[in-house]
Amino acid sequence: MKLIVAPDYAGICEKAADIFAAEIHRNPACVLGLATGSTPVGLYQALIRRYQEGALDFSKVQTFNLDEYCGLAGDHPQSYRYFMQKNLFDHVNIPLEHTYIPSGIADDPEQECRRYDALIESCGGIDIQLLGIGHNGHIGFNEPDDHFPVGSHLTRLAESTIQANSRFFASESEVPTHAITMGAGSILKAKKILLMASGEGKAEILCRSMTGPVTPFVPASVLQLHRDVVILADEAAASLIRKQIQPSDE
Distance CA 89, CA 111 (A): 26
Site string for ligand PGA, 44-73 (x = CB under 6 A): ------------------------------
Q: CA-to-CA distance for 229 and 206, rounded, in angstroms? A: 13
Q: Does 39 bind ligand PGA (CB under 6 A)?
A: yes
Q: Does 37 sit near ligand PGA (CB under 6 A)?
A: yes
Contact of 239 with 206, CB cutoff 8 Å:
no
Q: Is 99 in the site for ligand PGA (CB under 6 A)?
A: no
Judged by CB under 6 A, the residue of 13, 101, 130, 133 near ligand PGA is: 133
The one catalytic residue in 23, 68, 112, 143 is 143
Say whether residue 134 binds ligand PGA (CB under 6 A): yes
* Cβ pair 216, 147 in contact under 8 A: yes
Of 87, 98, 138, 165, which is the active-site residue?
Answer: 138
Whether 136 sits among the annotated catalytic residues: the reply is yes
Respond yes or no: is residue 117 known to be catalytic.
Answer: no
H helix runs in the chain, sequence order: 9-26, 41-52, 80-87, 109-122, 159-165, 184-188, 203-211
Question: Is 143 known to be catalytic?
Answer: yes
Query: Which of the following is catalytic: 67, 68, 112, 127?
Result: 67
Neighbouring C-alpha atoms within 13 Å toward the C-beta of 74:
12
Indicate the residue among 37 and 102 with the shorter CB distance to ligand PGA. 37
CB-based contact 27:59 (threshold 8 Å): no
65 is catalytic: no
The maximal CA–CA distance of the chain, rounded, in angstroms, is 49
What distance in Å separates the CA atoms of residue 188 and residue 173, rounded to the nearest whole number?
Answer: 33
Q: Which stretch binds ligand PGA (CB under 6 A): 6-14, 36-44, 79-87, 204-212?
A: 36-44
Catalytic, out of 14, 57, 76, 136: 136
Strand partners, 63: 32, 99
Nearer to ligand PGA, 11 or 132 (CB): 132
Q: Which of residues 146-185 bind ligand PGA (CB under 6 A)?
A: none
Q: Which residues of this protein are in contact with ligand PGA, per CB under 6 A?
A: 37-39, 132-134, 138
Question: Which residues are marked as active site?
Answer: 67, 136, 138, 143
